[in-house]
Amino acid sequence: MTQRYITNNANETMSVGKELATSLGVCTVAFYGDLGAGKTTFVRGMCEGLGYNGDVSSPTFAIVNEYHGGRLPLYHFDLYRIESFDDLYACGFYDYYDADEGILAIEWSENLAEALPNDAVVVRISYGETDQQRVIEVSREE
Task: From the list Mg ion, ligand ADP, none, pick the one residue 35 interacts with, judged by a Cβ distance below 5 to 8 Å according to partner type.
Answer: ligand ADP
Task: From the list Mg ion, ligand ADP, none, pick the one residue 13 interacts with, judged by a Cβ distance below 5 to 8 Å according to partner type.
Answer: ligand ADP
Contact (Cβ atoms closer than 8 angstroms) between residue 77 and residue 93: yes
**Residue 106: which of 68, 126, 77 has the closest Cα?**
77
**CB 24 to ligand ADP: min, Å:** 19
Task: From the list Mg ion, ligand ADP, none, pick the one residue 135 interacts with, judged by a Cβ distance below 5 to 8 Å according to partner type.
Answer: none
Q: How far apart are alpha carbons 123 and 100 in whole angstroms?
A: 20
User: For Mg ion, which residue has the nearest CB?
Assistant: 40
**Residue 76: which of 115, 102, 114 has the closest Cα?**
102
**Cα of 61 vs its chain's centroid, Å:** 16
Nearer to Mg ion, 58 or 133 (CB): 58
**CB 142 to ligand ADP: min, Å:** 26
